[in-house]
Amino acid sequence: MEKIPYKIYLSEEEMPKHWYNVKAVMKELPDPFLHPGTLQPMTADELKPIFCDELVEQEMNTKDEYIPIPEGVTEYYRMYRPSPLVRAYNLEKQLGTPAKIYFKFEGNNTSGSHKLNSAAAQVFYAKQQGIESLTTETGAGQWGSALSMACAYYGVPLDVFMVKISSEQKPYRKVLMETYGAKVHASPSTETAVGRRILEENPGTGGSLGCAISEALETAMSRKNCRYVLGSVLDHVILHQTVIGLETQTACEKYGIKPDVIIGCVGGGSNFGGLIAPFMGGRIKGENNIEFVGIEPASCPSLTRGRYAYDFGDTGKMTPLIRMYTLGSGFMPSPNHAGGLRYHGMSPIVSKLYHDGYITARSVEQSKVFDVASIFAKCEGILPAPESSHAIYGAVEEALKCKETGEEKTILFGLTGTGYFDMTAYMNYNSGNMVDHIPTDEDLEKGFATIPDIGK
Ligand SMILES: *Cc1c(COP(=O)(O)O)cnc(C)c1O
Closest atom of ligand 1 to 388 CA is 11
Amino acid at 277: A
- Encode the chain (456 residues) as per-residue pLDDT tens digits: 568 999 999 999 999 999 999 999 999 999 999 999 999 999 999 999 989 999 999 999 999 999 999 999 999 999 999 999 999 999 999 999 999 999 999 999 999 999 999 999 999 999 999 999 999 999 889 999 999 999 999 999 999 999 998 898 889 999 999 999 999 999 999 999 999 999 999 888 888 888 899 999 999 999 999 999 999 999 999 999 999 999 999 999 999 999 999 999 999 999 999 999 999 999 999 999 999 999 999 999 999 999 999 999 988 888 999 999 999 998 987 776 776 788 899 999 999 999 999 999 999 999 999 999 999 999 999 999 999 999 999 999 999 999 999 999 999 999 999 999 999 899 999 999 999 999 999 999 999 999 999 876
Output the pLDDT for position 316. Answer: 81
Q: φ and ψ at 9, to 5 degrees? A: -110, 130
Output the pLDDT for position 210. Answer: 83
Output the pLDDT for position 1. Answer: 54
Closest atom of ligand 1 to 106 CA is 13
CA of 266 to the centre of ligand 1 (A): 7
Laid out side by side, the sheet with 183-187 consists of 183-187, 158-163, 133-138, 226-228
Q: What is the bridge-based pairing of β-strands 183-187 and 100-105?
A: unpaired
* Residue ID of nearest Cα to ligand 1 atom 1: 340
Architecture of domain 7-16+68-112+234-448: 3-Layer(aba) Sandwich (3.40)
Stated as kind and residue range, the H or E segment containing 218 is helix 209-222
The DSSP line for 216-243 is: HHHHHHHSTTEEE--SSSSHHHHHHHHH
CA of 232 to the centre of ligand 1 (A): 8
CA of 228 to the centre of ligand 1 (A): 19
Q: Is the CB of 341 under 6 A from ligand 1?
A: yes
Amino acid at 28: E
Q: Report how far residue 290's alpha carbon sits from residue 25's, in angstroms, rounded to the nearest whole number.
A: 16
CA of 3 to the centre of ligand 1 (A): 32
CA of 365 to the centre of ligand 1 (A): 17
State the sign of the Cα–Cα–Cα–Cα dihedral 386, 387, 391, 397. Answer: positive
| CB-CB contact of 219 with 191 (8 Å) | yes
Q: Report how far residue 167's alpha carbon sits from residue 290's, in angstroms, rounded to the nearest whole number.
A: 39
Indicate yes or no: pTM above 0.75.
Answer: yes
Q: Is the CB of 56 under 6 A from ligand 1?
A: no
Closest atom of ligand 1 to 231 CA is 7
CA of 387 to the centre of ligand 1 (A): 6
Task: Give the residue among 319, 309, 251, 307 at the shortest CA–CA distance from 279.
Answer: 251
Q: Is the CB of 316 under 6 A from ligand 1?
A: no
Q: Report how far residue 265's alpha carbon sits from residue 386's, in angstroms, rounded to the nearest whole number.
A: 10
DSSP alpha helices (H): ranges in 256-310?
Answer: 270-284, 302-305
* Residue ID of nearest Cα to ligand 1 atom 4: 267
SS3 assignment for 147-166: HHHHHHHHCCCEEEEEEHHH
CB atoms within 10 A of CB 371: 17
Output the pLDDT for position 166. Answer: 87
Q: Report how far residue 146's alpha carbon sits from residue 165's, in angstroms, rounded to the nearest whole number.
A: 20
Output the pLDDT for position 94. Answer: 98
